[in-house]
Amino acid sequence: MNSIDSLLHETRRFPPAPAFVENAVAGPELAEAAAADRLAFWGDQSRQLLSWSTPFTQTLDWSEAPFAKWFADGRLNVAYNCLDRHVEAGNGDRIALHWEGEPGDSRSITYEELTADVKRAANTFAELGVGHGDRVAIYLPMIPEAVVAMLAVARLGAIHSVVFGGFSADSLRARIDDAEAKLVITADGGWRKGKVFPLKNAVDAALADGASTVEHVLVVRRGENTVEWTEGRDLWWHDTVEEASDEHDAEAFEAENPLFILYTSGTTGKPKGILHTSGGYLTQAAYTHKNVFDLHPETDVYWCTADVGWITGHSYVVYGPLANGATQVIYEGTPDTPHPARWWEVVEKYKVSIFYSAPTAIRSFMKIGRQEPQKYDLSSIRLLGSVGEPINPEAWIWYRDIIGAGAAPIVDTWWQTETGGIMISALPGLTTLKPGSAQVPLPGISVDVLSEDGTPVGNGEGGLLVVTEPWPSMLRGIWGDPERFVETYWSKFPGGDGEPPRYFAGDGARKDEDGDIWLLGRVDDVMNVSGHRLSTAEIESALVSHPWVAESAVVGANDETTGQAVVAFVIVKASQADVATAAEAADVLRAHVAQQIGAIARPRQVFIVTELPKTRSGKIMRRLLRDVAEGREIGDTTTLADTNVMQIITDKLK
């Protein structure tokens, strides 16, 4: 609660500089147009930002709410919009990607070259049997081929499911099975922290039983590490894609053609396959990328540090920037390899002007100290962005002062995997900035903060963040599970009496005196670790899958750098009590979670306990465990079935 209090007492204000306002992409007319006629506004944006091969006549069909259709009778090709049309417009020589490998190798790829690469890849995938509606899993490091693969799948009207390279073989297999992918695109390995991490091995492990839907594995050579080979199934990218024809006509698909599935953690153990479609998604990705980041595509060099394995990488590395014809940097490795100022070296090298990153990264850099960024010339930077979790005002000020020369506006962008694009953010030429607040819904977006009973809270009050009107890049469902979609997002405020349902985001929020929005974190059992969503239930099931574990409870505890950290409380089976000391068991279990889910889910701490605090109905009281994990006085225990339990736990941990 302390951090919330300090946020709400934050009074510093930063109006946009006149010179910035003068050249700003987004002016007051955007909000005026959206307020005058919201749907007409979105229709206009879509026509201006995208090229439709069949124009749409209806903007929104909400008759089957909460299942939305945007621009439904229009047709377009997403890859054509990100590539060919820029070449046709005479911008083929513009750099699309400045790619920087972790070891220092680099490639700059023009729009013309990227278009040809995607055409080659599309021809190869089609030859491997990938067509309209088929699912393709992509498990790659941050290399240009990741972007090429995504766009080639999109070009064919097929559906990609990008699986973050840090996820385990088991997680990969679960996602392959859920989507019934027929092709997997991977690499031998990629560079991370000065070493090659193997990816092909993990794919082999995921497919070892030979019982999956996967027909082929296409492998990019990047790590030069040795790999096993399954004849007939495995193919090298350089033997296929690089040999393929670079002629490929993009077929237009309907606006609601699925574009991708991206898995994210929910409140239960099984990740949800969030489904996004084409026309509405691309409209909002392009609109937000252009206006929030004040993109001047002829002169700006944009860098979003996210991996394509996350939604930020989908919307703000691939689709938004490329639809807008931007020049961008992508970087393969970690921020501190081979030296602590690696990112800043990259900013100087490419003269990055727009930089979009996450609070957790900024806090790590703060810890290392300003001397590192100050070794490089960062004067090219004119705009900074933040996403993933609330940015604490001290980190905001540091970011602006040290990275933004005390002058760059910071856009704090609130959105989610489900929203597909940015929903709440300052507009840099218009909004007077408040450090720590995401501030205002973008023109065309309608959000509110409601109390539990569904009534809007007043200014100065807190409640639950909802989106009150459908938006173009909204999720269209959960892959294969329409009931879960309705239940998870639309049942809290279901509407009725002719009222449409409202989308419940899972976040708490507060409106300040001006009505600006301050995000207060998740209100469900979802943790936010380094801006990535993790489910307590998913980690608990990973823990109980270990033969030593009888029961477990996982909480997100405050962490100075990562925002929250995973802390697990585990009861070891009586029969296993003597197999290891508590410290050894904790190490084994931490490694087990990393192996089951991926390194990002590895608990910071595992406490071996003999009891867990439960209510009379058997619900674990995570609030009390959070008190322990954060080293606080234990809160109210009166609803515990056995009120001595917390004493037993704290005695044990002394």
Return residues touching ligand WT7 (CB under 6 A). 264, 311-312, 387-390, 412-417, 438, 505-507, 519, 522, 528, 531-533
If the CB atoms of residues 395 and 568 are measured against ligand WT7, the closer one turns out to be 395
Report how far residue 500's alpha carbon sits from residue 403's, in angstroms, rounded to the nearest whole number.
Answer: 44
Query: Least separation, in Å, of the C-beta of 388 and ligand WT7?
Result: 4
Which residue, 197, 202, 207, is CA-closest to 141?
197
For residue 71, is it left (φ>0), alpha (ψ between -120 and 50) or beta?
A: left
If the CB atoms of residues 502 and 546 are measured against ligand WT7, the closer one turns out to be 502
Amino acid at 500: P
If the CB atoms of residues 77 and 360 are measured against ligand WT7, the closer one turns out to be 360
Report how far residue 274's alpha carbon sits from residue 284's, in angstroms, rounded to the nearest whole number.
Answer: 17
Q: How far is CA 282 from the centre of its chain?
A: 16
Please report, in range form, the residues annotated as the binding site for ATP. 388-390, 412-417, 507, 522, 533
The DSSP 8-state label assigned to residue 142 in this structure reads S
Residues in Cβ contact with 236 at an 8 Å cutoff, skipping those fewer than 6 apart = 218, 219, 221
User: CB-based burial of residue 221 (10 Å sphere; 0-12 exposed, 13-18 middle, 19+ buried)?
Assistant: middle
Residue 180 CB: number of other CB atoms within 10 A?
13
Which residue, 59, 9, 19, is CA-closest to 39?
59
Query: Least separation, in Å, of the C-beta of 384 and ligand WT7?
Result: 13
Beta bridge partners of 462: 510
If the CB atoms of residues 3 and 58 are measured against ligand WT7, the closer one turns out to be 3
Report how far residue 575's alpha carbon sits from residue 98's, in angstroms, rounded to the nearest whole number.
Answer: 57
Beta bridge partners of 69: 61
Q: How many helices (H) and strands (E) does the chain have?
A: 22, 30
If the CB atoms of residues 216 and 400 are measured against ligand WT7, the closer one turns out to be 400
Which residue, 60, 68, 65, 69, is CA-closest to 490?
65
Residue 7 CB: number of other CB atoms within 10 A?
21
CA–CA distances in Å: residue 158 to residues 137, 181, 207, 284, 349: 11, 11, 22, 20, 36
Query: Least separation, in Å, of the C-beta of 363 and ligand WT7?
Result: 14
If the CB atoms of residues 76 and 426 are measured against ligand WT7, the closer one turns out to be 426
If the CB atoms of residues 250 and 408 are measured against ligand WT7, the closer one turns out to be 408
The DSSP 8-state label assigned to residue 586 in this structure reads H
If the CB atoms of residues 263 and 548 are measured against ligand WT7, the closer one turns out to be 263
User: CB-based burial of residue 177 (10 Å sphere; 0-12 exposed, 13-18 middle, 19+ buried)?
Assistant: middle
H/E run at residue 642:
none
Length of the chain counted residue by residue: 654
Query: Least separation, in Å, of the C-beta of 496 and ligand WT7?
Result: 25
Query: Least separation, in Å, of the C-beta of 609 and ligand WT7?
Result: 29
Please report, in range form, the residues annotated as the binding site. 192-195, 312, 388-390, 412-417, 507, 522, 530, 533, 544, 546, 549
Which residue, 396, 412, 436, 392, is CA-closest to 560?
392
If the CB atoms of residues 188 and 418 are measured against ligand WT7, the closer one turns out to be 418
- For residue 315, the number of C-alpha atoms closer than 13 Å in the C-beta half-sphere is 35
The DSSP 8-state label assigned to residue 399 in this structure reads I
Contact 389, 395 (CB under 8 A): no
Query: Least separation, in Å, of the C-beta of 358 and ligand WT7?
Result: 8
Please report, in range form, the residues annotated as the binding site for Mg(2+). 544, 546, 549
Contact 135, 179 (CB under 8 A): yes
Contact 348, 377 (CB under 8 A): yes
If the CB atoms of residues 77 and 536 are measured against ligand WT7, the closer one turns out to be 536
Local structure of 256: helix, strand or coil: coil
If the CB atoms of residues 56 and 396 are measured against ligand WT7, the closer one turns out to be 396
Beta strand segments in 58-101, E = 60-64, 67-70, 75-76, 95-100
Query: Least separation, in Å, of the C-beta of 444 and ligand WT7?
Result: 18
Report how far residue 215's alpha carbon sits from residue 234's, in angstroms, rounded to the nearest whole number.
Answer: 9
If the CB atoms of residues 115 and 437 are measured against ligand WT7, the closer one turns out to be 437
Please report, in range form, the residues annotated as the binding site for CoA. 192-195, 312, 530
Amino acid at 366: M
